[in-house]
Structure 1
């Protein structure tokens, strides 16, 4: 199982590398996320969004925040399998050069619901690996 605590940090100044391909796609912890990251993603031809986990303390909270932040399709079943399905079939998000999911409030969620955070990290990691061998990559920043 992927422990969210063991995920690598995105080094300072390496964000452009995600979009340029010099930093491999994947799941990274980061200090914070902000609107400038979305602007950089858009400028690179990527689609990006923020999932705000501020105050999330359960799986249900996490799923609700994902449904809202990612604007998941109506068929999203608010369970781990459905999240994995959505993240490996991004047709609902449109075609692009890459996909960027950023979270805000990850560390608080991780402390409030460590098992759920680990499961979410595992799903994010599997989805990033799935997209790593395709034309459009997926990266997740846990801030």
Structure 2
């Protein structure tokens, strides 16, 4: 995996992993997104704020010159525990990806199977 990670980084993409394993609720999901994505202190920890930061390359890691890959792990477990919150999170991820589709800095969200 390190070879893939290095190749992606060399292409100007930053990779961040949001691990939802053990996350008990929306607040935990927001905290994990904030930590993994190194979001600014003003991040509001609500759905609109998450959509905004995912769609704004200005708050992405500096290494994300070509784009950002967000790998979400533990999502299945989280979805089983918090189905409504997971569905909303999935919609936020999907909408943010769509907003960035036609831009110079793309967003990709991958659901990891680990």
Pairwise same-fold verdict (TM > 0.5)? yes
Distance in 1 (alpha carbons) for counterparts of 2:110 and 2:35:
17
How far the C-alpha of 1:103 sits from its partner, in A, is 1.3
Residue 48 of structure 1 is aligned with which of 3, 8, 15?
15
CA RMSD for the aligned pairs? 1.5
Distance in 2 (alpha carbons) for counterparts of 1:139 and 1:85:
15
Please list every run of 5 or more consecutive structure 2 residues that lacks an aligned counterpart in the other structure.
none
TM-score, reference length from structure 2: 0.88
1:1-143 residue pairs with structure 2 within 5 A?
A: 37-93=4-60, 94=62, 96-143=65-112
TM-score, reference length from structure 1: 0.71
Please list every run of 5 or more consecutive structure 1 residues that lacks an aligned counterpart in the other structure.
1-33
Across the two proteins, how many residue pairs are aligned to each other?
110
